[in-house]
Amino acid sequence: MLLPISLKNQLVPVIKDGFVIKRSVFQQCLELYPKAEFDVLMQKVMKKSKINRKYDAFVRNFVAGMKEVSIDGDSGRLQIPKNLVEFAGIEKEVVLNAVFDKIEIWNKDLYEKVLAEGEKDYADLAEEIFDDDE
């Protein structure tokens, strides 16, 4: 996959450190983390109790298919492992959605479907999430 030039340019400061790509926990998409950001996330995961069946099941799924990858600094090319392409249902058109510390990689049709389904609940979610803010 070729990254858009504008996104590639934003990633220049972290390209040399590499990235981690993995399945999303909540959606049928992929998550691309700069390696340093992923390391912070893994530290949080590793702080939890390891003598616990639920933790064991979570971690097994959390790291399933996870792979360290690199982005070619010249071309902006990202090689996505086949098993992750299959998980996300990626065929031809892809949507990249930058979300805080990661980039979501979606099958375009699936992304549009998830957005459309979420529109009806969007206002309620916003109220619920920000209701106690002052």
pLDDT digits (tens, 9 = 90+) for 31-43: 999 999 999 999 9
Bridge pairing between strands 102-107 and 94-99: antiparallel
Cα radius of gyration rounded to whole Å, the chain: 17
pTM: 0.89
Q: Is the dihedral of CA 112, 116, 118, 119 positive or negative?
A: positive
**Structural domains of the chain, with CATH:** 5-107 (3.40.1550.20)
pLDDT digits (tens, 9 = 90+) for 1-39: 999 999 999 999 999 999 999 999 999 999 999 999 999
pLDDT digits (tens, 9 = 90+) for 45-79: 999 878 889 999 999 999 999 999 999 988 899 99
